[in-house]
A = this chain, B = another copy of it.
Amino acid sequence: MAHRDTQERLIQTAAGLWHARSYADVGVNEICEAADVRKGSFYHFFASKQELAVAVIDRHWSEAYENVVMPALAAGATPMAQLQELTVGIADEVDRLTDELGVVPGCPFGNLAVELSTIDGAVRERLERLFESQKELLRDLLERAVAAGELPDATDTADAARAMHAYIEGVLLVSKNANDASIVRRLLPLALRLAVEGTPAEAARV
């Protein structure tokens, strides 16, 4: 037979199953069955289940970048508008995946981080580098917002980007647990507030 797309099918099948359920709950056997691949072939392409996880992570990110990040950057007129578009795009994607998978899936990276960061070093490091890229992306946006006068010059864009990234992960986590996709659309745009410094209490503290 020698199908050329065996490896591809394994990655996509595992991505879907893990996103809908969890890494531990979906074993190599089930992935192979769903992808119509025999176990021997699985281990011809991947040395371990964890190695497949790394490939799945890369796949998720390249697809998310293409389907969510790039459209948002194209749609927004100003940096802060692009940020807003990004939150909307994520909400759209969550809606789409909820239909496709039958459950609110949360964040594929956050999910794997929770399950594997204390278990598998390679996965943890891959996720950390990925998170770094995502925070860089947010920070670039914020820097451009400062340059465009949408945010004060003194804005600590690094901290704000870190906070926004964590917030996005948190919103996706709680939406998954509540199994309610609408939470994402309602809550995610509030991320922009994290870029604005100086609340009453912060001022009182200083």
> Which residues of A come within 8 Å of B, CB atoms?
20-25, 78, 80-81, 83-84, 103, 106, 110-111, 113-119, 124, 127-128, 131, 150-151, 159-160, 162-163, 165-171, 173-174, 176-179, 183, 186-187, 189-190, 192-197, 199-202, 204-205
Contact = CB atoms under 8 A, between A and B. Distances in A.
Interface centre among A114, A115, A160, A168, by most B CB within 10 Å? Answer: A114
Which 8 pairs of residues, A with B, have the shortest CB-CB distance? A170-B170, A24-B24, A80-B201, A166-B170, A113-B177, A169-B170, A114-B114, A166-B171
Helix, strand, loop or mixed for chain A's interface?
Answer: helix
User: How many monomers of this protein are in the complex?
Assistant: 2
A151 B199 CA distance: 9
Nearest to A152: B200
A35 B202 CA distance: 45
Nearest to A117: B177
